[in-house]
């Protein structure tokens, strides 16, 4: 339906945006790409008195990806990341997530950082951040806070961000040369939110797995890693036996929700299937240029 | 209610409008500018009927505030034809009898134009994937996919680019 009324602000600097948040706090919402906020308004899931449009703040547009890590600013859109050669080379898990995110007409407007801040548990980017051990840069008028990805998502549409803070950047650590990663998911229709999805990485040296990350989305109220399954993979030769054992632990430990789209048991089952599928694909990508 | 001054170029014509901040680009295109070819189905970004081109890129006009489009160049369904001459994608959809009620047609046409600009010869699989963000409740999609395939053939024979900004 039509959006409820609000007072619109379009600050031209980060300092001005932060001053508005300091003033209006809980009654203000940040607008970047708007692909999450506008449905929230249209469906009356939220009714902020003030909308702070950060879309014209130049200092939030930075995208840097290199051998020492990747920094994604608050205004970087999915379509830009999807086409970026630097992202493909240095943040391949981000590149792998991009085609799964919405439709083209959503990706041209929606931002990666906005998706993380919106915190839909079935979204790809929060799980990618959790898999990679990203650092969230939260800025308020009072200063800057660095928040570990593992501490950032706290529940359904709920994060560690304070009402006076803006998530200005996501920092990803350097991508290791001996690792592969991918994003796999099962959804009812192409680009729909996943029933369950997996962002995974695996590193291999001398024929044995040295580290693995299994980060599921759509399987709980936040993205979740299955540490026991990751630990079970370490030291094993990458292959069917190790992946099947990890999948079994995933099925036993995940506690996904039931809804009209799928039962908890069905989601557990596909989480196991995705574990094997994702790890197989991730290993195949080690050392392969994007 | 406070309003904002917004300047938008739509299909080559510049419009300076006073709009309420809460209003979407789709509503402003339809109600202020009077171009009702851009259709509104769900009004929350699911159905794709309101797809327009914003600075050449496809976007949902219901998921954009008009104030966000301040300074942008918009192409709507009315901007595809060149006078009386239909755009090749329009011609192809007509030839293939792609639509039944055609409420969804503006969104499909704009998405198809955007797709073929980026990928002039998509496979059937790619067409289905790329147009999955547009919903049609009549056709079952077969005829729409056939229309896009017709457009691919027409465009490759005429070598005309999609749409001029």
Which residues in chain B have their CB less than 8 angstroms from residue A34's CB?
63-65, 68
Point out the residue among A38, A189, A191 whose CB comes nearest to the CB of B63: A38
Q: What is the CATH number of the domain that holds A237?
A: 3.30.390.50
Whether residue A2 lies inside any domain: the answer is: no
Do both B64 and B119 map to the same domain?
no
Do both A39 and A68 map to the same domain?
no
Residue B76 contacts A, CB cutoff 8 Å:
no
Residue A79 contacts B, CB cutoff 8 Å:
yes
β A7-9/A50-53 pair status: parallel
Domain that holds residue A137: 61-172
Residue A275 pLDDT grade (very low, low, confident, very high; cuts 50, 70, 90): very high
Domain that holds residue B41: 3-79
Whether residue A233 lies inside any domain: the answer is: yes
Q: Classify A132 as helix, strand or coil.
A: helix
At a CB cut-off of 8 Å and minimum separation 6, what does A185 contact?
A100, A124, A194, A195, A196, A197, A198, A217, A218, A274
On the question of pLDDT at A66 being above 90, the answer is yes
Residue A287 pLDDT grade (very low, low, confident, very high; cuts 50, 70, 90): confident
Do both A71 and A93 map to the same domain?
yes
Residue B157 contacts A, CB cutoff 8 Å:
no
On the question of pLDDT at A134 being above 60, the answer is yes
Q: How many CB atoms lie within 10 A of CB A258?
A: 11
**Pick from A278, A283, A264: which is nearest to A100 by CA?**
A278
At a CB cut-off of 8 Å and minimum separation 6, what does A61 contact?
A73, A75, A76
On the question of pLDDT at A6 being above 60, the answer is yes
Q: Does the beta-carbon distance from B43 to A1 stay under 8 Å?
A: yes
Residue B94 contacts A, CB cutoff 8 Å:
no
User: What percent of chain A stands above pLDDT 70?
Assistant: 99
Q: What is the CATH number of the domain that holds B19?
A: 3.10.20.30
Residue A211 contacts B, CB cutoff 8 Å:
no
What are the two backbone dihedrals, phi and then psi, of residue A30, each rounded to the nearest 5 degrees? Answer: -90, 135
**Pick from A235, A275, A240: which is nearest to A254 by CA?**
A275
The nearest alpha carbon in chain A to B48 belongs to A105
For an interface test with B, the pick among A48, A104, A106 (most B C-beta atoms closer than 10 Å) comes out as A104
Structure confidence at residue A190 (pLDDT): 80
Residue that is last in its domain, among B20, B55, B79: B79
Sign of the C-alpha dihedral, residues B87, B88, B90, B91?
positive
Q: Note the pLDDT tens digit of each residue in A73-83.
A: 999 999 999 99
Q: Does the beta-carbon distance from B111 to A102 stay under 8 Å?
A: no
For an interface test with A, the pick among B45, B48, B52, B126 (most A C-beta atoms closer than 10 Å) comes out as B45
* CA distance to partner chain B, nearest, from residue A212 (Å): 31
If one counts the domains in chain B, the total is: 2
Find the mean pLDDT for residues B71-90: 97
Do both B39 and B97 map to the same domain?
no
Q: What is the CATH number of the domain that holds A32?
A: 3.30.43.10
Do both A129 and A94 map to the same domain?
yes
Whether residue B11 lies inside any domain: the answer is: yes
Find the mean pLDDT for residues A118-125: 96
Residue A1 pLDDT grade (very low, low, confident, very high; cuts 50, 70, 90): confident
Do both A198 and A268 map to the same domain?
yes
Residue that is last in its domain, among B41, B57, B79: B79
On the question of pLDDT at B64 being above 70, the answer is yes
Q: How many CB atoms lie within 10 A of CB B79?
A: 23
Q: Which of residues 35-54 of A touch B (CB under 8 A)?
A: 35, 38-39, 41-43, 51, 53
Lowest mean pLDDT: which of A47-61, A186-200, A206-220, B4-18?
Answer: A186-200
Do both A27 and A124 map to the same domain?
no
Contact between A170 and A129 under an 8 Å Cβ cutoff? The reply is: yes
Do both B92 and B148 map to the same domain?
yes
Q: Does the beta-carbon distance from A2 to B63 stay under 8 Å?
A: no
Find the mean pLDDT for residues A13-35: 97
Which residues in chain A have their CB less than 8 angstroms from residue B68's CB?
31, 34, 53, 55
Structure confidence at residue A188 (pLDDT): 87
On the question of pLDDT at A264 being above 50, the answer is yes
Q: Note the pLDDT tens digit of each residue in A84-103.
A: 999 999 999 999 999 999 99
Residue pointed to by tokens 């989480």? A271
Find the mean pLDDT for residues B42-71: 97
Structure confidence at residue B159 (pLDDT): 57
Q: Does the beta-carbon distance from B51 to A105 stay under 8 Å?
A: yes
Which residues in chain A have their CB less than 8 angstroms from residue B30's CB?
none
Structure confidence at residue A290 (pLDDT): 52
If one counts the domains in chain A, the total is: 3
Tell me the pLDDT of chain A averaged across its residues. Answer: 96
Do both A25 and A80 map to the same domain?
no
Which residues in chain B have their CB less than 8 angstroms from residue A52's CB?
none
Whether residue B163 lies inside any domain: the answer is: no
Q: Classify A188 as helix, strand or coil.
A: coil
Do both B33 and B55 map to the same domain?
yes
Whether residue A1 lies inside any domain: the answer is: no
Do both B98 and B64 map to the same domain?
no
Which residues in chain B have their CB less than 8 angstroms from residue A102's CB?
133
Do both A83 and A168 map to the same domain?
yes
Whether residue A158 lies inside any domain: the answer is: yes
Residue A106 contacts B, CB cutoff 8 Å:
yes
Do both A144 and A208 map to the same domain?
no
Residue A104 contacts B, CB cutoff 8 Å:
yes
Do both B107 and B146 map to the same domain?
yes
On the question of pLDDT at B165 being above 50, the answer is no
């Amino acid at each position: 339906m039509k959006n409820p009324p609000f007072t619109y602000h379009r600050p031209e600097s980060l300092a001005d945006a932060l001053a508005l948040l300091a003033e209006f706090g809980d009654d203000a919402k940040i607008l970047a790409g708007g692909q999450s906020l506008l449905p929230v308004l249209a469906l009356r899931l939220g009714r902020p008195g003030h909308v702070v449009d950060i879309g014209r703040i130049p200092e939030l547009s930075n995208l840097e990806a290199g051998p020492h890590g990747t920094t994604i600013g608050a205004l970087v859109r999915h379509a830009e990341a999807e086409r970026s050669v630097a992202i493909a080379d240095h943040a391949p898990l981000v590149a792998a997530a991009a085609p799964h995110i919405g439709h083209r007409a959503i990706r041209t407007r929606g931002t990666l950082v906005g998706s993380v801040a919106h915190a839909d548990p079935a979204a790809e980017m929060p799980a990618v951040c959790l898999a990679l051990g990203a650092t969230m840069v939260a800025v308020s008028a009072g200063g800057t806070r660095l928040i570990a990805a593992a501490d950032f998502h706290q529940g359904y549409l709920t994060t560690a961000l304070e009402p006076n803070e803006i998530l200005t950047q996501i920092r990803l650590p350097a991508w290791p040369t001996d690792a592969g990663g991918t994003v796999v998911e099962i959804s009812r229709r192409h680009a729909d939110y996943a029933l369950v999805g997996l962002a995974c990485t695996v590193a291999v040296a001398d024929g044995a797995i040295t580290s693995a990350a299994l980060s599921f989305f759509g399987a709980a109220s936040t993205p979740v890693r299955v540490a026991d399954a990751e630990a079970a993979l370490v030291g094993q030769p990458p292959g069917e036996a190790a992946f099947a054992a990890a999948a079994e632990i995933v099925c036993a430990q995940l506690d996904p929700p039931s809804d009209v789209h799928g039962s908890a048991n069905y989601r557990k089952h596909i989480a196991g299937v995705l574990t094997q599928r994702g790890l197989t694909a991730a290993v195949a990508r080690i050392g392969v240029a994007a | 209610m406070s309003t904002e001054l917004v300047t938008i170029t739509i299909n080559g014509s510049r419009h300076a409008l006073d709009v309420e901040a809460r209003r979407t680009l789709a509503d402003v295109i339809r109600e202020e500018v009077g171009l009702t070819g851009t259709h509104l189905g769900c009004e929350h970004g699911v159905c794709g009927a309101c797809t327009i081109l914003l600075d050449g890129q496809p976007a949902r006009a219901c998921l954009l505030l008009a104030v966000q489009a301040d300074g942008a160049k918009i192409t709507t369904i009315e901007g595809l034809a060149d006078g009386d001459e239909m755009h090749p994608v329009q011609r192809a959809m007509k030839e293939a009898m792609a639509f039944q009620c055609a409420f969804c047609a503006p969104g499909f046409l704009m998405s198809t134009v955007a797709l073929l600009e980026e990928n002039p010869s998509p496979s059937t699989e790619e067409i289905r994937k790329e147009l999955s963000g547009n919903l049609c409740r009549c056709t079952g999609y077969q005829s729409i996919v056939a229309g896009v395939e017709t457009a691919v053939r027409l465009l490759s024979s005429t070598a005309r680019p999609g749409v001029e900004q």
